[in-house]
A and B are shown apart, each in its own frame.
Chain A
Amino acid sequence: MAKQHKAVALISGGLDSLLAAKVILDQGVHVEGINFYTGFCVEGHTHAIRQKDKSKPKRNNALWVAEELGIKLHIVDVVEEYKDVLVNPKHGYGANMNPCLDCKGFMVKKALQWIKENDFDFIITGEVIGQRPMSQRKSTMPIIARESGADDLLLRPLCAKFLPETKPEKEGWVKREELLDISGRSRKPQMALANQFGFVDYAQPAGGCCFLTDKKYSDRLVDLWETRNDKNYELDDVMMLKVGRHLRPKPHFKMIIGREEGENKFMEGYRKQFVHLRASSCMGPLVLIDGELAAEDEALAAQITARFSQGRDENSVVVELTDKTGVAKLIAVKPLAENGILEEWRI
């Protein structure tokens, strides 16, 4: 019996990677999935954080895809290594802070390392020519293959017919004639294929596979870098960018204000690392201070905290301010007027 070849499929959780893996599985190749966790992935967090999302069934789409395909999934934590990709992308950023081309190259390189360690034969991705302006153009496809070092071990089943033959095709591990020729931004061919395979209920993230394609999220990241004058970050930092309303009333401090119970609860877990405020004479959100709150800023921070509390229309609200050592004090303030929250404070 001929040797069964083995491929690792990059699984983001979206439809394209699901289809790409399926096309290769159907050719009798042994496929396992690999999913890289950068810290910015859309999967997970928002569900864990926001109460209002809890009514929707929560699932990790990469796991869901693997289960649909009946393949194993290896999730790899690349949070540390990814920092360099994000901070110093050789090919720059896309529309927001998404370094897609470098990111793809990095992931394929990691997959190459993985296939060598695990004795697999080649790598597949769900890339489609012309799908994304930055990373999925015909001219960028060879860049990813070359810079990752994967070269002709990288097969894109959904658009393979537009690309030079890869080793799995040349060697007859897969049949080129059964690969596809999808291109462009239209999602119709993928949806038709999903239909043909009987996949329903698949995820279709609008912007891409990660938060870095989101304008608001990117603005917060740039603000973090600029105000700290340092692009290094911890996982906790990037997590906090997803939570709450962010206001920067002064250059040296930012306020993270819980928007609902789920966020407040999530932020509770972090409060000991931050100076934090909360109205004590009425209900109100938890507010974390990122940066340095000087003594002369305390009243303003308390007034803003009061503004977001249920006592916003009262003459006086008592706010509890707790420093990082856990010492708390009470400050009675008049809540800031609605128009006192300046537009330029919002990040």
Chain B
Amino acid sequence: MSKHQLDARRLLCPMPVIRTQDKVKTLSPGDILEVTCTDPGVLSDIPAWSRINGHEYLGHTENHDEIVVTVKVGG
């Protein structure tokens, strides 16, 4: 299990979702991915994407205009 980061700042939805999806494909079940975003749309899109595709959405933190969402890769 390892932890990974992805920079999706300044991308508008669905680009952050696409980048997350493509990155997750390269990871293993149980890995954690933290995605830094600026489009608040990710707060709805990444949890939905995670639910649909069998990953676990672990929540988000916000710092000024940056949002970090965390996903645990499903099996």
Q: Is B29 an interface residue (CB 8 A)?
A: no
Contact B38 A60 (CB under 8 A): no
Q: Which chain A residue shows the least CB distance to B53? A: A72
Number of B residues, CB within 8 Å of A? 20
**A21 nearest CB across to chain B (Å):** 13
The answer, yes or no, to whether A48 is at the interface (CB within 8 Å) is yes
1/0 per residue A32-66: CB within 8 Å of B? 00010100010111011100000001111011101
**Binary contact track A225-244/B, C-beta < 8 Å → 1, others 0:** 00000000000000100000
Contact B52 A66 (CB under 8 A): yes
| B14, B38, B48: the one within 8 Å of A64 (CB) | B48
Q: Which of A44, A47, A58, A73 contacts B52 (CB 8 A)?
A: A73
The reply to whether the CB of B44 lies closer than 8 angstroms to some CB of chain A is yes
Question: B49 touches which one: A41, A58, A71, A73 (CB < 8 A)?
Answer: A73
Nearest-neighbor residue (CB-CB) of A60 within chain B? B45
Is B10's CB within 8 Å of the partner chain A? Answer: yes
Query: Which residue from chain B places its CB closest to the CB of A79 in the assembled complex?
Result: B15
A75 engages B14 (CB within 8 Å): yes
Interface size on A (CB < 8 Å)? Answer: 27
B52 and A77: CB pair below 8 A?
no
Query: Which B residues are in CB contact (< 8 Å) with A167?
Result: none
Q: When A73-B53, A269-B38 are in contact, do A37 and B18 touch as well, CB less than 8 Å?
A: yes
Output the least CB separation between A31 and chain B (Å): 13
Q: Contact partner of A47 among B10, B41, B53, CB < 8 A?
A: B41
Query: Which of A60, A64, A67, A72 is B41 in contact with, Cβ under 8 Å?
Result: A60
